[in-house]
Amino acid sequence: MGYVFDFHDAKSYARWFNDPRNSLEAELECKLMLDMLCPVRDDSVLEIGCGTGASLIPLLDRGLNATGIDPSPYMLDIALQNLGHRVDLYRGYAENLPFDDNSFNHACFMTALEFVEDPQKAIAEACRVAKDRVFIGVLNRYAIKSIQRRLAGIFNDTIYNHARFFGVWELKRIARTVVGPVPLSWRTVNQFPASCSGFTHNLEHSSIVQRCPFGAFAGMVVTLIPRFRTRPLAMRYGRKRTTGVVTG
């Protein structure tokens, strides 16, 4: 089942997104998701582990049909307050999505895979319900900020004590195990502290800088290739009899 956010976790999560000091960080993460997914207007997108709905807003602003699912009723309550009926919200778990195969153009995780019980099964479910691309956004295990978060958990009880941090190479291995040798690519953002100058913020948008594997937020997109189950069919063939004399 993984870790389900309780009432206090949900309130703390909402406060983080509402803090102006974190706006640039959240903006870079959402922009990376949209840049890598490359959705077109009216595409359908499922966010798995949608939380308070903060990451659904950029999808709506892009003109996409957004759906969110989360196991925490407290998170969904806040998402409903923030978004109203602009999106469809469901309560459920990443490892057992209540949707048919190929129900959405795209699916995405935004710092949600860290809290599921079985990450490989969660990714497999995302690939099942999506037909075009899956975006996986995680807190980068090898970023300085993630190391600080894990060290802080030694001395205090934090939400990150319940999280599993991933690196780019581990994500690639899990994705390859699930879907095989399909096209995938990765980038990272938030290489520099949010308090740095505007110049470093501009650097964050550089494709070269985003190829550094140590940004605080790592994103990977998996491009899905349709697979068809086939079976051989016997073909009946009868030789046609001809009559008469052929002249030539």
Q: What is the pLDDT of residues 92-131, one digit of tens each?
A: 999 999 999 999 999 999 999 999 999 999 999 999 999 9
- Is there a domain that residue 228 lies in? no
63 pLDDT higher than 70: yes
197 pLDDT higher than 60: no
pLDDT per residue as tens digits for the range 71-102: 999 999 999 999 998 999 999 999 999 999 99
pLDDT per residue as tens digits for the range 144-194: 888 888 777 777 788 888 999 999 999 999 999 999 999 999 999 988 776
pLDDT per residue as tens digits for the range 216-235: 999 999 999 876 555 666 65
130 contacts 109 by C-beta, under 8 angstroms: no
The tokens of 235 are what? 């073909």
Query: What sign does the dihedral 149-154-159-160 (CA atoms) show?
Result: positive
- Is there a domain that residue 57 lies in? yes
- Is there a domain that residue 240 lies in? no
* Total number of domains constituting the chain: 1
Residue linked to tokens 């900020």? 145
Determine how many CB atoms are found less than 10 A away from the CB of residue 92: 13
Give pLDDT, residue 11: 94
Q: Which structural domain range is residue 66 located in? A: 7-223
- Is there a domain that residue 30 lies in? yes
- Is there a domain that residue 233 lies in? no
Question: What is the domain-level CATH number for residue 127?
Answer: 3.40.50.150
